[in-house]
Amino acid sequence: MKKNSIYALMLLCFTALLFSCSKDSDNTIEPIEPPIEQGPIFPRKEMRAVWMTTAWGLDWPQSIYSESAQKSQYIAYLDKFKALNINTIYFQVKGMGDSFYASTYEPWSAAITGTRGKDPGYDVLKFLIDEAHARNMEFHAWMNPYRIGTRTGVSQSYAPLHQSINPEWVVSHEKIQIYNPALPEVRQRLSDLVKELISKYDVDGIHFDDYFYPDPSSAGTMISDENDFALYGAGYKTIGDFRRGNVDQAIKSVYDVIVLTKPGVAFSVSPAPSNAYNMNTLYANVTKWCQEGWVDIVIPQLYQEIGNASNDFKTNLGFWHQFNYKAALVIGHGFYKFGDATNPIAFQSTAELQKQFDLTKTRKKVVGNAMYSAKYIMNNSIGITDKLAEIYKNPALRPFVGRAVAPLPAEPQNVRIEDGVLKWMVSGDVKSVVYYFENLKTEGKIVTITKENNQAIAEGGFYCIATFNSDNQESKFSNFVEKK
């Protein structure tokens, strides 16, 4: 063999080895590459979210049944979120086969009045959405697709079913009562519920959590679905495939009804951290949904610490960063664990949250973070909310996800500084984002996000403006103006 051929072969082997190592090692770690071009670096767009749980009244309204007190509590939450530069709320509007609005299909939630089915006397959901939007926060309606009720055991009865529910659609396991995922009628009902909600209310998204088929470890004795498999399972090799297929069809039907009814609404799912658990216990083939484009945002619940022996935060982050496919990737954090003495030592220090955020920022496909859950932000155990305030010290613009429905925003015009006030002109139904740079070779920050056309400024340096529309699509940046 000629020498140059040997060299070529050695080079080929080395390249193959390098590629093989990158595939077998943590190939999901993809640090953000430093910008090649010289010039200003604009801050990343980020979804900064918080889950607000209403099942059992956990976060809201916490057994408060007065309208005025409920409103005051919710506003206190939002004002705190606004101060923290949080820009998105995932609010649970259907946690137990119930509703936070007057629904054709589900009874009023017991969390609102203390009595399931009782009208609270005001439009709860409109109030919740309007207050969020008034603070430039998106409101995503969080729905549990299947759960109707829970109980401690067979000695306790489930609540009576809503008059619109056919009892034959329901499976009552020992500790959880659910809509039967195998039935076409149930999938249709779920689509109808979503269509009703997005048709009546100006929500920015529909969100499903990680509850699909029940986990036997918490559901107790399970009712067999062998008869369902015999009746509907043609074409599936195993009952596991059948269950996954049932949930696939439900997710696809919800996605389709959103696109047909109000395509600007984003559809998100927050799976468990372990893909094997999702696939084989909950029968949720989440990566398939991401690959098919049936979900717009995936928010894996990475609630374990970095270095956890069975569910390591870093390992799970790497997995979802590799297999989010077409879905925007937002990372869920176990905010509730910080300061809880029953949790691992890592959660007794705010440093763990900082480390988790630092890891997410090295993954270029991560577009945000979500905290579970709202009341723990208010509690500020071990100063964890203070740490979040430090991480979120400047505002952030939300990323564009889903489908564009609004006209593209136009670049701001006539940007200038007059008597210490930054001024500009915009056109169309847009908001403006004001960027500041100490110099044009460093990363900038957002000063404010506003509906106004002016902003008082104090710091010397460079400013520019962009506009963005209701889809979070951003315009071209304006020219820079300098304050000396």
pLDDT tens by residue, 390-430: 999 999 999 999 999 999 999 999 999 999 999 999 999 99
Is a pLDDT exceeding 60 seen at residue 379?
yes
* Cβ 102 vs Cβ 119: under 8 Å: yes
Q: Furthest-apart CA pair in the chain: how many Å?
A: 88
**What SS3 state is found at 416?**
strand
For the CA atoms of 137, 141, 142, 143, the dihedral, rounded to the nearest 10 degrees, stands at 180
* Cβ 274 vs Cβ 210: under 8 Å: no
Is a pLDDT exceeding 90 seen at residue 389?
yes
Q: Which residues of 321-345 are buried (b: 16+ CB within 10 A; e: fewer)?
A: bbbbbebbbbbbbbbbbbbeeebee
Beta strands of 253-386 (E only): which ranges?
Answer: 266-269, 297-298, 301-302, 328-333, 366-372
| pLDDT given at position 38 | 66
- CA 435 to CA 442: how far, in whole Å? 12
Domains of the chain: 47-391 (3.20.20.80), 413-483 (2.60.40.10)
Contacts of 186 (CB under 8 A, 6+ apart): 146, 169, 179, 180, 250
- Mean pLDDT of the 280-303 span: 98
- CA 425 to CA 452: how far, in whole Å? 10
| pLDDT given at position 207 | 99
* Cβ 405 vs Cβ 397: under 8 Å: no
More confident residue, 213 or 21: 213
How would you classify residue 255: left for phi > 0, otherwise alpha for psi between -120 and 50, otherwise beta? alpha
- Mean pLDDT of the 267-279 span: 98
Q: What are phi and psi of 358, to 5 degrees?
A: -60, -40
Q: What is the mean pLDDT of the chain?
A: 93
| pLDDT given at position 5 | 44
| pLDDT given at position 342 | 98
User: pLDDT band at 239, cuts 50/70/90?
Assistant: very high
| pLDDT given at position 30 | 47
Is a pLDDT exceeding 50 seen at residue 199?
yes
| pLDDT given at position 355 | 98
Percent of the chain, pLDDT > 70? 92
Is a pLDDT exceeding 60 seen at residue 332?
yes
How would you classify residue 155: left for phi > 0, otherwise alpha for psi between -120 and 50, otherwise beta? alpha
| pLDDT given at position 37 | 52
- Mean pLDDT of the 436-457 span: 96
Contacts of 6 (CB under 8 A, 6+ apart): none
- Mean pLDDT of the 4-27 span: 42
- CA 433 to CA 466: how far, in whole Å? 5
Is a pLDDT exceeding 50 seen at residue 60?
yes
- Mean pLDDT of the 471-475 span: 98
| pLDDT given at position 7 | 43
Q: Which residues of 417-426 are buried (b: 16+ CB within 10 A; e: fewer)?
A: eeeeebbbeb
- CA 289 to CA 204: how far, in whole Å? 20
Of 461, 436, 437, residue with least CA distance to 449: 436
- Mean pLDDT of the 156-182 span: 96
| pLDDT given at position 39 | 77
How would you classify residue 117: left for phi > 0, otherwise alpha for psi between -120 and 50, otherwise beta? left
Of 183, 150, 148, 188, residue with least CA distance to 169: 183
| pLDDT given at position 215 | 97
Query: Which two three-digit tokens encode residue 83?
Result: 């101060």
- CA 71 to CA 120: how far, in whole Å? 12
Is a pLDDT exceeding 70 seen at residue 16?
no
